[in-house]
Amino acid sequence: MLRGLRERRGWEAPRLASELTAQAMAIGQTLPGRESLVRMVYEWEAGTHRPRAYYVLFVLVYATDEELAARTIARGSELDRLMAALKAMGVPVDRRQFLLHAAALAAGVTGVPAVAVNLEGQERVAWVLKHPRGVDLPTVRYLGEQALGLFKQYEAVASTSLLPQAARQLEQVTLLRKHAPLGRVHQELCSVEAQSATLMGRLVWDVSGQHDHATAARYYDQAISAAMNVKEGWAEALPRTFQRFLPIYVANGDPKEGLELADRAIARAGDGSSHVVAGWSLAFGAEAHALRHEERHEGAAWRVYRCLPSPLERSAERPVSASEDRAEPRSR
């Protein structure tokens, strides 16, 4: 039955091992090495051994955010099929329910009252802001979509009109992040905060006529601090990509410092977590090298950048992912 669950998703055993590892990293659990874990997956599926120490990780892989938040099992869902597999292994019903609660707690998903579960979008955010300890994954997902929407508007809307919305968004995210328990909810809030603070840094710089370097720097520092809690490199690369403008435009600017910041952004974006952010990092790194009269780097970086699809093309292919698709920044 475990094999059937995996194959329904079109996964090979190494992919399931990677998913289990990602969930373990998110909750601070240690797993064996990749080869050992893949071998264990085959043994679990063959019935040779049972994944007793890893039941919670299986729940985190197959449960939906809504199931974790409400501590319920939707009939016919992947979690329902997983629980059937555990039942076949002899895991009693009270133990299976305990595993669901343990997975929700490990992921930092607090129990949300039914009144909040039935709310959506901005109404749900409004309720959670009044009860910040009740922040959950669906709320964070919505905030992430809103942050991405603001970033996309940056290309088309005047910074002065966008600034109040972005400031309110960042204030909400920061408040909820401070109250979120450690785990998946906290990590994803940090991801949204990194994006929101980056946008604020750019907006205040634009509105000031590119003179208020100190305020912009504080927002970029906030974004980088939040990114330290996110394993994907794009979260840190994004603010560093914008941060590199500051040393260039201040009085007696230092292109060398801007180049160092650009190179750090390129390094962090190199983990493959976002090809789009990696492209921006390379493009702005090319500009930094050009200012240092290092054209050989400039040409190579721009060639890579031009091969990447635009964010709008990527978002049209499938639902926008908070960790993959970012709105393209305008270079001033």
Distances (CA, A) of 204 to 174, 197, 211: 18, 11, 9
pLDDT of residue 46: 92
pLDDT of residue 270: 74
Distances (CA, A) of 123 to 65, 144, 229: 18, 15, 28
Phi-psi region of 110 (alpha: psi -120 to 50; beta: other; left: phi over 0): beta
pLDDT of residue 297: 47
Q: Are 287 and 244 in contact (CB under 8 A)?
A: no
Cα–Cα nearest to 81, from 101, 96, 66: 96
- pLDDT for 101-132, tens place per residue? 888 887 765 555 544 556 778 888 888 888 88
CA atoms within 13 A on the CB side of 325: 19
Q: Flag residues of the chain having pLDDT under 50.
A: 114-115, 295-329, 331-332
For residue 176, give the H/E element and its range: helix 159-179
pTM of the entire structure?
A: 0.58
pLDDT of residue 123: 85
DSSP state of 321: P
Instruction: Please tell me the distance from the alpha carbon of residue 316 to that of residue 318, in angstroms, as a whole number.
Output: 6
- pLDDT for 172-216, tens place per residue? 999 999 988 778 888 899 999 999 999 999 999 889 988 888 899
